[in-house]
Amino acid sequence: MFHRFANPARFSRIASAVLPWSAAITVILFAAGIWFALFASPADYQQGQTVRIMYVHVPSAWMAMACYTFIAVMSVIALVWKHPLADIAAKAAAPLGAAFTIIVLVTGSLWGKPTWGTWWVWDARLTSVLVLFFLYLGHIALTHAFDNPQRGARAAAVLALVGFVNIPIIKFSVDWWNTLHQPASLTRLDTPAIDSSMLTPLLLMAFAFMLYFVTMLLVRMRADLNAARTRALRLSAAERATAS
């Protein structure tokens, strides 16, 4: 099962079958999530209407960490098992993760100004998320830094594994240090510390962000595979022309 998707042609066929469904469900979830976030959920008694930023900020934060975790897993698969699609998956996921991280930082600043009275503080959570953004940029840069794509992918994979130590720091920073962020609300052992009227749009947006990542990952992987196939055909044609 692990190597069934190693064939690019088989992967492309599977992606072509999955993409219409994932794209359609993504649109539906975003529409439902935005409606619940704007019209069906109440304003917070302390934060007022600014609490609605949560429905973008929190899911994007989850996806920023999930994308990097995905890249780290793909890096292990590429380095250990030499799976031909693992490097392509990591390369395709890195810009998506960087985009999610930018959304986290921007919406966090917009949320922090009316809530904390400042756009930015150098606490553990904010600083570690900023480091995560630079890790994404480093991964993207290393992927394209070498003439040999395999060397670039290998260097980027090593960086992804070294940088993965930042993920638990982001996750547990609010527990390990005194930060402005509140502790976890959804992963408590008893019950989530958030009302269902706010939990519903939050989860809808979270699933929408997740399926958006899956959809765009498949699109980008197919594009990379098609580009590689085009380069191979051009190289083969050039070699035949030279030989003749």
Give tens-digit pLDDT for 156-212: 999 999 999 999 999 888 777 666 666 666 654 455 568 888 999 999 999 999 999
Quote the mean pLDDT of the chain.
89
Of 119, 143, 135, 115, which Cα lies nearest the Cα of 47? 115
Is 99 inside any structural domain? Answer: yes
Is 144 inside any structural domain? Answer: yes
Query: Does residue 88 surpass a pLDDT of 70?
Result: yes
Q: Which of 44-48, 130-134, 148-152 comes out lowest in average pLDDT? A: 44-48
Query: Does residue 63 surpass a pLDDT of 50?
Result: yes
Is 122 inside any structural domain? Answer: yes
CA distances to 69, 132, 209 from 98, rounded to whole Å, are 13, 8, 14
Average pLDDT, integer, range 11-22:
93
**What was the pLDDT predicted at 159?**
97
Task: Find the length of the chain.
Answer: 244
Query: Does residue 147 surpass a pLDDT of 90?
Result: no
**What was the pLDDT predicted at 189?**
43
84 band by pLDDT with thresholds 50, 70 and 90: confident
**What was the pLDDT predicted at 101?**
98
The enclosing domain of 211 has a CATH number of 1.20.120
31 band by pLDDT with thresholds 50, 70 and 90: very high
Contact 167, 208 (CB under 8 A): no
Burial of 67 (0-12, 13-18, 19+ CB in 10 A): buried
Is 14 inside any structural domain? Answer: no
Is 189 inside any structural domain? Answer: no
Task: Calculate the dihedral angle through the C-alpha atoms of 155, 161, 163, 164, rounding to the nearest 10 degrees.
Answer: 160
Structural domain count of the chain: 1
121 band by pLDDT with thresholds 50, 70 and 90: confident
Residue 204: CB atoms within 10 Å? 22
**What was the pLDDT predicted at 123?**
84
Residue 174: CB atoms within 10 Å? 17
Q: What is the pTM of this model?
A: 0.90
Is 108 inside any structural domain? Answer: yes
4 band by pLDDT with thresholds 50, 70 and 90: low
Enclosing domain of residue 205: 19-39+50-182+194-230
3-state secondary structure of 57: helix
Is 206 inside any structural domain? Answer: yes
Query: Does residue 152 surpass a pLDDT of 60?
Result: yes
Is 199 inside any structural domain? Answer: yes
